[in-house]
Structure 1
Amino acid sequence: MATPMVNASYLVSDVNLSAMSSPVKRRPTGRHHGDLRNALLRAALELVAERGPHGFTLAEASRRAGVSVAAPYKHFADRETLLAELATRGYREQRDRFAAAVGGSEDPAEQLASFASAYVRFAAEEPALFDITFNAGLDKSRFAELASAGDEVAGLLLPVARRLTPDADDAFDLLLRVAGAAHGLAVFLRQGLFGVGSGALADTEERAARTARAITRQQDA
């Protein structure tokens, strides 16, 4: 259901990479002095920010990290495996942000409104992770941890929707409508339709919250 939002060249945040080593230095020998796995993940995030999730190869990530093109295969079977680990981090970052958002109210309609706002902010502040999570086209049946991380997000939000409608299918549809509206607004913001900068982000967050409230009112009608 997981970005001020500007464009793909926006700086990659370190919020999901707190466990990573210090910035990677390139060494002419091709041997990396630090944590190879996290160096490759950082390099891949940078490349996604510049080119999108389909715009780079594992060899390019290796060169960006300053290691040999054979080095990544110690940790990742292929490019999709590397992207799946980043997408998993993306879902977990969403889960943490959305949990904080819905925890600010006891009213389920306001909780969904806060979720919609948080969705927009995640997309604005983590554009590379947002793109990987939603646009990489990863097969979740191949990556159990990725599927589990996505289920955790749904598991957090579906009970909120169920408080507005007891039917499980109706609750799922309600959550989809709210998330879909927030996603569209997030993409529009990244495309510059609402301007740029912190003011545009704040306005879009509020727009997402208003839209979510309108959707929940329709559910009650």
Structure 2
Amino acid sequence: MPPTKRQTYHHGDLRAALIDSALELIAEQGVQAFSMAEASRRIGVAVSAPYRHFADRDELLSAVAVRAGELLVAAVTAERGGRAPEDRLVAVVRGYVRFAARHRALFEALSGSWSPDLERASQPVKEAFRSGAMDLSGGDPVAAESFGLAVAATAHGHAGLLHLGMFGAGEQAVDLAVRRAADATLALIAGRSRLGVTTG
């Protein structure tokens, strides 16, 4: 007789299994419909089991946001750009919008959460924006911060517009949103002097 789901867990695995279960549920139903009880039932453990690892629903959602942050980092890293700083920064934007399109519920969970762990998990994405902005700002940290924020807002804004249906539906909408976000980023780069950004 094969082991049941309950029998497959041992100490140290349950926390990760609950996060995986929560990720699946949020992807299917959204954050609002998510419950710890349903996450427990899905992996075949008692509804009291999560409380060994998480104080409440918010704490589990925070852990989910950290995992979502790691997935965002992977999506941004997977997007290939050229060697030029302009190409690398545009690639970050494309990866950001694609992640938002492919993982809408997780993107929303990520956007609505903050914790020190999430800050650490998402740091590589922030560094990707910052690094590209710094390269295009002549090493001026003040100008780079302003420019990097403008580019990040462009990426986030296009993701939000995609979710509102402004680009249509389906894969064509995703491709259009990604292209528009990339074009807007290139326009920002071309007009960076208006933001007080100059290259060295």
Q: TM-score, normalised on structure 1?
A: 0.74
2:85 is aligned with 1:113: no
Amino acid at match of 2:150: R
CA contact (8 A) 1:32 1:67 kept: no
Larger Rg: 2
CA deviation after TM superposition for structure 1 residue 50, in Å: 4.4
Output the CA distance in 2 between the equivalents of 1:157 and 1:182: 10
Question: Residue in 2 aligned with 1:220?
Answer: 193
**Structure 2 CA distance for partners of 1:42 and 1:100, relative to 1, 3 Å:** closer
After TM superposition, the structure 1 = structure 2 runs for residues 75-114 of structure 1, keeping only pairs within 5 Å, are 75-101=53-79, 104-114=81-91
Long gaps (5+) in structure 1: 1-25
CA deviation after TM superposition for structure 1 residue 148, in Å: 1.2
After TM superposition, the structure 1 = structure 2 runs for residues 1-221 of structure 1, keeping only pairs within 5 Å, are 31=6, 33-34=8-9, 35-101=13-79, 104-135=81-112, 137-138=113-114, 140=115, 144-165=116-137, 166-221=139-194
Output the CA distance in 1 between the equivalents of 2:166 and 2:67: 28
Output the CA distance in 1 between the equivalents of 2:35 and 2:75: 30
- The root-mean-square deviation of aligned C-alpha atoms, in Å, is 2.4
**Structure 2 CA distance for partners of 1:71 and 1:216, relative to 1, 3 Å:** same
Point out which structure has higher relative CO (alpha carbons under 8 A, 6+ apart): 1
Output the CA distance in 2 between the equivalents of 1:96 and 1:61: 25
Output the CA distance in 1 between the equivalents of 2:166 and 2:178: 14
Question: Residue in 2 aligned with 1:20?
Answer: none
Output the CA distance in 1 between the equivalents of 2:122 and 2:142: 18
Report the secondary structure of 1:182's partner residue: helix
Long gaps (5+) in structure 2: 195-200
Question: Residue in 1 aligned with 2:198?
Answer: none
Q: Deviations over 1:23-67 (max 9, x none)?
A: xxx98xxx4644533432233223323443244332332234332
Decide which structure has greater helix share: 2
Q: TM-score, normalised on structure 2?
A: 0.81
Output the CA distance in 2 between the equivalents of 1:199 and 1:90: 24
Amino acid at match of 1:147: E
CA contact (8 A) 1:178 1:212 kept: yes
Identity of aligned residues (%): 39
Output the CA distance in 1 between the equivalents of 2:69 and 2:24: 18
Aligned length: 188
Amino acid at match of 1:52: G
Output the CA distance in 2 between the equivalents of 1:32 and 1:83: 25
Q: Deviations over 1:46-90 (max 9, x none)?
A: 332344324433233223433212101222222222222221222
Question: Residue in 2 aligned with 1:8?
Answer: none
